């Protein structure tokens, strides 16, 4: 009988201790749940697993037991085993608090207190804030160069549209016909003839007028009447150097869309020599290197026989412009 009472006493104490240990463990788990922000009672699932890892990392702790992940670590069952084996360490590492157990006739947990550990810094480890005073002297002779953005854009455009060496070169192809001629050519039949005019980009600028050199070749056709036995027909071409005067800035008609030129030059042919003068009106076609032109020429020629005459012609055509 005495041995039976002793056995019952030990069994009762073991059951009481087991009940006490289970209740304390549950209270620690609840304390951990509150720290993770998942509330009391919810199961420790994969979300809680990730929250725990984050909390430990914030505390500067890398737990090797959690490196395999939730699934590879055994899932829910593996996580529960980990918590059961490490709950005391987690409570300590995360500063969750201290569990006081007050034993009475019925063993139970009375209070759970969460304590915060405050580490006091030593005076010699405190960082001193160093304030450096700088003496500033007044700045003298300071000037600000404020540039107008519009001007900068314009200057940028000028830089990007820098003219090449061929800028100003024009090669024109016209077809024209004499409209009026001198007495010696008045009864002749005229035809449309081609004119090739080349204006180089080389020259000199005097005031608003830019003068450039060029060369012009023009064909002419004067057929004598059938009943004019004493009249001679003239079929040939005159060619010679010329000067072109750009008067676009003086005569501003049409603006930049029109080029206005006055020209004068010499002309030589098989029948004699003379001079030529006239004007060119070129209309540019936008940004294309092509222009339409209307030209007029006054031709004066002295024949080898000593006689002289003239004719006035009008022509139109196209030109290639390098601008």
Tokens describing residue 150: 């519009």
- Residues 21-33 as b or e (16 or more Cβ within 10 Å = b): eeebeeebbebbb
Residues 6+ positions from 182 with CB-CB distance below 8 Å:
308, 309, 310, 311
Cα–Cα distance measured from residue 35 to residue 52, given in angstroms and rounded to the nearest whole number: 9
pLDDT per residue as tens digits for the range 244-302: 999 999 998 888 889 999 999 999 999 999 999 999 999 999 889 999 999 999 999 99
Q: Among residues of the chain, what percentage have pLDDT more than 70?
A: 72
Whether residue 43 has pLDDT greater than 80: no
Cα–Cα distance measured from residue 24 to residue 12, given in angstroms and rounded to the nearest whole number: 18
Are 178 and 313 in contact, with CB atoms under 8 Å apart? yes
- For the chain, the farthest-separated pair of C-alpha atoms sits apart, in whole angstroms, at 175
pLDDT per residue as tens digits for the range 141-167: 555 555 555 555 554 444 444 567 888
pLDDT per residue as tens digits for the range 287-310: 899 999 999 999 999 999 899 999
Q: Domains plus CATH for the chain?
A: 9-118 (no CATH), 164-321 (2.40.160.20)
pLDDT per residue as tens digits for the range 68-121: 788 877 888 888 888 888 888 888 888 876 544 444 333 343 444 444 433 444
pLDDT band at 32 (very low <50, low <70, confident <90, very high): confident
Whether residue 61 has pLDDT greater than 80: yes
Q: Annotate 51-117 with DSSP letters as a single string.
A: HHHHHHHHTT---GGGTT-TTTTTHHHHHHHHHHHHHHHHHHHTT--EEE----SS----EEE----
pLDDT band at 123 (very low <50, low <70, confident <90, very high): very low
- Kindly state the average pLDDT of the residues 122-127: 46
- Kindly state the average pLDDT of the residues 172-183: 96
């Amino acid at each position: 009988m005495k041995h039976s009472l002793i056995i019952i006493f030990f069994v009762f104490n073991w059951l009481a201790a087991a009940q006490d240990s289970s209740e304390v463990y549950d209270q620690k788990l609840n304390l951990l749940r509150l720290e993770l922000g998942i509330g009391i009672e919810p199961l420790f699932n994969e979300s809680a697993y990730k929250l725990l890892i984050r909390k430990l990392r914030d505390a500067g702790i890398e737990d090797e037991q959690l490196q395999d992940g939730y699934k590879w670590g055994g899932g829910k069952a593996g996580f529960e085993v980990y918590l059961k084996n490490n709950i005391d360490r987690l409570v300590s590492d995360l500063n969750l608090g201290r569990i006081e157990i007050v034993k009475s006739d019925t063993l139970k947990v009375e209070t759970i207190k969460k304590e915060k550990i405050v580490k006091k810094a030593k005076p010699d480890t405190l960082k001193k804030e160093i304030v450096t005073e700088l003496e500033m002297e007044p700045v003298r002779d300071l000037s600000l160069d404020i540039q107008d953005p519009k001007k900068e854009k314009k200057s940028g455009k000028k830089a990007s549209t820098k003219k090449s060496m061929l800028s100003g070169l024009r090669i024109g192809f016209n077809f024209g016909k004499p409209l009026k001629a001198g007495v010696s050519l008045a009864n002749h039949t005229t035809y449309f003839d081609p004119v090739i005019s080349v204006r180089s980009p080389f020259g000199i600028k005097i005031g608003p007028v830019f003068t450039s050199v060029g060369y012009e070749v023009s064909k002419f056709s004067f057929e004598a009447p059938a009943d004019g036995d004493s009249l001679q027909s003239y079929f040939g071409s005159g060619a010679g150097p010329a000067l072109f005067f750009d008067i676009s800035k003086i005569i501003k008609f049409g603006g930049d869309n029109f080029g206005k030129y006055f020209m004068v030059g010499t002309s030589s042919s098989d029948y004699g020599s003379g001079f030529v003068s006239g004007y060119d009106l070129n209309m540019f076609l936008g940004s294309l290197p092509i222009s339409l032109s209307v030209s007029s020429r006054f031709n004066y020629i002295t024949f080898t026989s000593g006689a002289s005459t003239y004719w006035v012609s009008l022509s139109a055509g196209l030109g290639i412009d390098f601008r």
